[in-house]
């Protein structure tokens, strides 16, 4: 699975949490073009009533797969200060970019006494969103770039769309900062299709037990714990699929799964994603082999779960 | 906008989170008296089924405005200990007052080794709620008192009622401590009127970028981040209104907006309030000019958003 | 109220949060056997659609009583590491037990530099749940054992079932770790029976103001604060009942009441439970007298609230 134009293009779109309208519009355009070549043409829900979220319904869905579209970043405050959106790694000298009413912005991140600043020569309008400058590097089966979290999850689900017969795909907002679009999305998909199984297509960290090039990651827990009965079924199906995968066990961290756990619907959930190094930096790094495994595992599970 | 009796009276009512029944009853009484002189007579929802919250529906509402009625305070524990309700500033020697079955209580707050105590000569019944003794000072365009947070928000919305044609006004409980009335209120107003726009009328802090006498405060973010598309519309309308305002950007803090963000409804929200010094003390201080701006901005936005 | 077989049997079942299927099945079996001798035969809801939760509906319910079935424990990670589930006390050398596909596990808990490990000779499968080895000691009116939190609450509600005429009993999951079954349960009981009053049957800590052998515990607050009007009614009814009780006031801690507070239903709640020493250890200790008081208080309140 080499780099393709779709992945490249979505890696160049900014979408700091709260400001996902551009990537959402781009995605709707792509879906419109691509769906003619998909095995099944989905019903599409989006627009003002959906607050930049996108829902695709294929056939008779039993399981929903979620990928968030937003990224970490910064909000400009007063006196050249910046405030984090989500949890970006704070690396002195990181290039940031964005745009306010006075024009394009390119500046460096600076930290003094625990406070964050930019070095842009002019003031930046209050509330302007900045994010990492993109710099994609491909080599030897690896991709290194900003925003792999969660462009890789979005990309995997778009690949899944090509062959999906029955299933529900959701591109969501606000995952990196406070959440809040999931409750609405869950209500919509539960009330309309009675969805009771959910998979979270997102990026996780390389650790002692999770490594690059060792397959998709099935998370048995993070700060929240999925129901054991559902995990057992997923592992059984993953074994049947013969797709390489790794099992993750973490004490901390979270995903959109948290909001499914807390929802007023009896919906099981599990995180199935891809590992990366250097999370929430401009140089997140993942392996194409793992991305391929992730796509194949989703193809199998959406069909067989 | 000088001090009037309404503001004075609500500043003298105690309503520590969880115990809002007195201020709610008072407010219902005032609304009953005043509504005859309002341009539009609202439909009123309150009582046991609403858990001390009050909802006023004017005409065909598109936007809801929320003001919380509760304040910070203290719960009496064992052995003269006190436990905070919300986040009151702990200032040794602050006068507190309340009432238990044995009668009226007036005592001083004391801190020893990080624990809080009262100095009342007799024991205080477990679970009794105490709050700051009121002391209102008016001078030179400023008001200094306990409970400005959020008596000023309540007052601004009551002023708004006088001319409001279409809109929904909510006086809510529990904002200072844990929340939990908003989810019910949001369900009620979404299911009955399809409300999708919400403004939070509350008090915020003076900081590097927000000052007394510089107008109403529109918050672009606190610990939660409103949707950029909605913020952009609000700023455009605020500019049209010609009412003086300031833009706030904070990393921390929150408001009832948090529970709107997390609700299962596609409802946009924004905090529009007033700045104060000495938050959560008995000497909160605000400017009447800012209060006037806040009322005018609400008048314009409820009509034009 | 001496130890009986029911209490003994449920004390020997493992049910770490997320893995409540065994205790849920056992309970359903017991309910099936016992209900013939109950005054009223309840409607029973359970199974896959209820995610291991159990709901019993007696007559025309006005009030619901909740007891959680799960316990704290540990998840096995990589390289002999363990990750806590809920907040177990970390006591070096505590015996833990569980089971993975390779067979039964019995091992000791170890702590090094803030990380947790087991000393089992072989590796343990990732994601395996371990919990305290059970060791029940009865003496002089006291019981000491693992899992009193919340086997005592479950036991009290099962006793309550024997005479209950009108009321709703819920055995819930996930209380110790992150919650998330309550929102679904609350929606179900509110939409079907309009339940607006809830009591939480759970275990709390011995403190300065709460002691063994001094009766049931009515909590006036923990990290969340029930509505004062509801507390006042409960205390009035508890006084009428003449059952010994103690009033608790805490700054921290929580129960399933938190999720009722945050639910979108106007449902009042109060924690009414039993005190214990050594919480979240293998040697939790409570008094049978208090358990008896708890049962009697529930009998009175479910009838009269």
pLDDT in tens, chain C (305 residues): 556 889 999 999 999 999 999 999 999 999 999 999 999 999 999 988 999 999 999 999 999 999 999 999 999 999 999 999 999 999 999 999 999 999 999 999 999 999 999 999 999 999 999 999 999 999 999 999 999 999 999 999 999 999 999 999 999 999 999 999 999 999 999 999 999 999 999 999 999 999 999 999 999 999 999 999 999 999 999 999 999 999 999 999 999 999 999 999 999 999 999 999 999 999 999 999 999 999 999 999 999 99
Residue C160 CA neighbour count, 13 Å, CB half: 33
Check residue A17 and give its pLDDT: 97
Q: What does DSSP say about strands C137-139 and C81-85: parallel, antiparallel, or unpaired?
A: unpaired
Check residue A3 and give its pLDDT: 65
Check residue C260 and give its pLDDT: 97
Q: What does DSSP say about strands B268-276 and B197-200: parallel, antiparallel, or unpaired?
A: parallel
Cβ contact (<8 Å) for C21 and A228? yes
Q: What is the DSSP letter of A292?
A: H
Model confidence at B2, pLDDT cuts 50, 70, 90, reads low
Check residue A209 and give its pLDDT: 96
Cβ contact (<8 Å) for C50 and A268? no
pLDDT at B22 over 80: yes
CB-based contact, B179 to chain C, within 8 Å:
yes
* Beta bridge partners of residue B63, listed in sequence order: B197
Cβ contact (<8 Å) for A225 and C79? no
φ/ψ of C28, rounded to 5, equals -60, -40
Domains in chain B: boundaries: 5-71+137-304, 73-132
**Chain B nearest-CA residue for C222:** B83
CB-based contact, A177 to chain B, within 8 Å:
yes
Long-range contacts of A28-33 (CB under 8 A, 24+ apart): A28/A54, A30/A6, A30/A158, A31/A56, A31/A161
What are the angstrom distances between the C-alpha of B154 and each of A236, B193, C120?
57, 22, 62
CB-based contact, C102 to chain B, within 8 Å:
no
Per-position DSSP letters for chain C, written without gaps between them: ----HHHHHHHT---BTT--HHHHHHHHHHHHHHGGGSSSPPEEE-SGGGTT-EEEEESS-SEEEEEE--B-EEEE-STTEEEEES-----TT-EEEEEETTEEEEEEEEEETTEEEE--SS---TT-EEEEPP--EEETTEEEETTHHHHHHHHHHHHHHTT-SSEEEEEES-TTTT--SHHHHHHHHHHHH---EEEE--EEE--SS--TTS-EEEEEESSS---HHHHHHHHHHHHHHT--EEEEE-SS---THHHHHTSSS--EEEEEEEEEBSTTSTTEEEEHHHHHHHHHHHHHHHHH-
φ/ψ of C119, rounded to 5, equals -110, 25
CA distance C159 to B154: 48
Query: Average pLDDT for residues B198-203, to the nearest whole number?
Result: 98
- pTM, entire model: 0.96
Which residues of B are less than 8 Å from A81 in CB distance? 208
Q: Residues with Cβ < 8 Å from C48, sequence gap 6 or more?
A: none
On whether the CB atoms of residues A23 and A13 are closer than 8 A, the answer is yes
pLDDT at A2 over 90: no
Residue A134 CA neighbour count, 13 Å, CB half: 17
CATH class label, A73-132: mainly beta
On whether the CB atoms of residues B14 and B22 are closer than 8 A, the answer is yes
Check residue C302 and give its pLDDT: 98
Query: Average pLDDT for residues A20-33, to the nearest whole number?
Result: 96
Residue C133 CA neighbour count, 13 Å, CB half: 12
Among C16, C18, C71, C99, most A C-beta atoms within 10 A, so best to mutate, is C18
Check residue B48 and give its pLDDT: 86
* Beta bridge partners of residue A110, listed in sequence order: A117
On whether the CB atoms of residues C263 and B184 are closer than 8 A, the answer is yes
**Identity of the residue in B209, B224, B228 whose CB atom sits nearest the CB atom of A178:** B224
Which residues of C are less than 8 Å from B260 in CB distance? none
Instruction: Tell me which architecture the domain covering B5-71+137-304 has in CATH.
Output: 3-Layer(aba) Sandwich (3.40)
Cβ contact (<8 Å) for B209 and A77? yes
Q: Residues with Cβ < 8 Å from A73, sequence gap 6 or more?
A: A14, A16, A17, A84, A85, A86, A88, A129, A130, A131, A132
CA distance C2 to C6: 11
Per-position DSSP letters for A174-194, written without gaps between them: -TTTT--SHHHHHHHHHHHH-
Question: What subunits make at least 3 CB pairs under 8 angstroms with A?
Answer: B, C
Cβ contact (<8 Å) for A50 and B268? no
Check residue A266 and give its pLDDT: 96
Cβ contact (<8 Å) for A209 and C79? yes
Cβ contact (<8 Å) for B184 and C209? no
Average pLDDT taken over every residue of chain A? 97
Per residue in C171-230, pLDDT (tens digit) is: 999 999 999 999 999 999 999 999 999 999 999 999 999 999 999 999 999 999 999 999
**Identity of the residue in B227, B247, B250 whose CB atom sits nearest the CB atom of A51:** B227
**Identity of the residue in B84, B177, B184 whose CB atom sits nearest the CB atom of C264:** B184
Which residues of A are less than 8 Å from C81 in CB distance? 208
CA distance C57 to C104: 38
Query: Average pLDDT for residues A61-65, to the nearest whole number?
Result: 98
Cβ contact (<8 Å) for C184 and A228? no
CB-based contact, B226 to chain A, within 8 Å:
yes
Cβ contact (<8 Å) for A228 and C19? yes
Cα of A291 to nearest chain B Cα, Å = 31
CB-based contact, B12 to chain C, within 8 Å:
no
CB-based contact, C266 to chain B, within 8 Å:
yes
Model confidence at B1, pLDDT cuts 50, 70, 90, reads low
Residue A111 CA neighbour count, 13 Å, CB half: 11
Which residues of B are less than 8 Å from A18 in CB distance? 221, 225-228
Which residues of A are less than 8 Å from B231 in CB distance? 127
Query: Average pLDDT for residues B90-99, to the nearest whole number?
Result: 97
Cα of A60 to nearest chain C Cα, Å = 19
Per residue in A67-115, pLDDT (tens digit) is: 999 999 999 999 999 999 999 999 999 999 999 999 999 999 999 999 9
Cβ contact (<8 Å) for B184 and C223? no
Token pair recorded at residue C27? 């309970």
b (16+ CB within 10 A) / e for B55-82: bbbbeebbbbbbbbbbbbbbbbbeebbb
Per residue in B234-266, pLDDT (tens digit) is: 999 999 999 999 999 999 999 999 999 999 999
Beta carbon pairs, A and B, within 8 Å: 75
Alpha helices by DSSP H, listed for chain A, are 5-11, 21-34, 148-161, 182-193, 228-241, 257-261, 288-304
CA distance A253 to A279: 12
196-225 of B, contacting A, C-beta below 8 A:
207-209, 220-221, 223-225
**Chain B nearest-CA residue for A48:** B266
What are the angstrom distances between the C-alpha of A13 and each of A9, A10, A23?
7, 5, 6
b (16+ CB within 10 A) / e for A206-233: beebbebebbbbbbbbbebbbbbbbbeb
**Identity of the residue in C207, C249, C263 whose CB atom sits nearest the CB atom of B127:** C249
What are the angstrom distances between the C-alpha of A145 and each of A17, A28, A278, A292, C208?
18, 23, 10, 18, 56
Check residue C1 and give its pLDDT: 58
What are the angstrom distances between the C-alpha of A228 and each of A231, B118, B250, C74?
5, 49, 40, 14
**Identity of the residue in B50, B127, B263 whose CB atom sits nearest the CB atom of C220:** B127
* Beta bridge partners of residue A83, listed in sequence order: A75
CB-based contact, C249 to chain B, within 8 Å:
yes
CA-based angle B290:B235:A69, to the nearest 5?
Answer: 130
Check residue C40 and give its pLDDT: 98
């Amino acid at each position: 699975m080499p780099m393709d134009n779709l992945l490249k293009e979505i890696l160049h779109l900014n979408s700091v949490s709260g400001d996902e309208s551009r990537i959402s519009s781009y995605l709707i355009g792509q879906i419109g073009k691509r769906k003619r070549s998909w095995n099944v043409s989905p019903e599409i829900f989006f627009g003002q009533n959906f607050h930049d979220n996108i829902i695709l319904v294929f056939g008779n869905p039993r399981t929903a797969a979620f990928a968030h579209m937003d990224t970490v970043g910064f909000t400009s405050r007063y006196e050249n200060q910046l405030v984090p959106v989500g949890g970006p790694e704070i690396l002195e000298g990181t290039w940031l970019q964005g745009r306010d009413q006075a024009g394009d912005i390119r500046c460096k991140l600076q930290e003094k006494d625990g406070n964050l600043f930019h070095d842009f020569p002019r003031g930046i309008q209050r509330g302007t969103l900045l994010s990492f400058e993109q710099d994609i590097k491909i080599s030897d089966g690896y991709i290194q770039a900003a925003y792999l979290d969660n462009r890789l999850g979005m990309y995997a689900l778009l690949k899944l769309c090509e062959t999906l017969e029955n299933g529900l795909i959701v591109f969501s907002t606000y995952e990196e900062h406070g959440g809040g679009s999931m409750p609405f999305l869950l209500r919509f998909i539960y009330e309309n299709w009675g969805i009771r199984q959910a998979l979270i297509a997102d990026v996780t960290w390389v650790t002692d037990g999770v490594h690059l090039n060792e397959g998709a990651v099935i998370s048995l827990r993070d700060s929240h714990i999925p129901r054991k009965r559902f995990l057992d079924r997923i592992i059984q199906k993953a074994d049947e699929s013969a797709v390489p995968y790794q099992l993750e066990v973490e004490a901390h961290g979270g995903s959109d799964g948290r909001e499914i756990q807390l929802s007023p619907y009896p919906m099981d959930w599990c995180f199935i994603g891809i590992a990366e190094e250097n999370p929430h930096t401009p140089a997140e790094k993942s392996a194409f082999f793992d991305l391929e495994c992730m796509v194949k595992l989703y193809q199998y599970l959406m069909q067989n779960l």
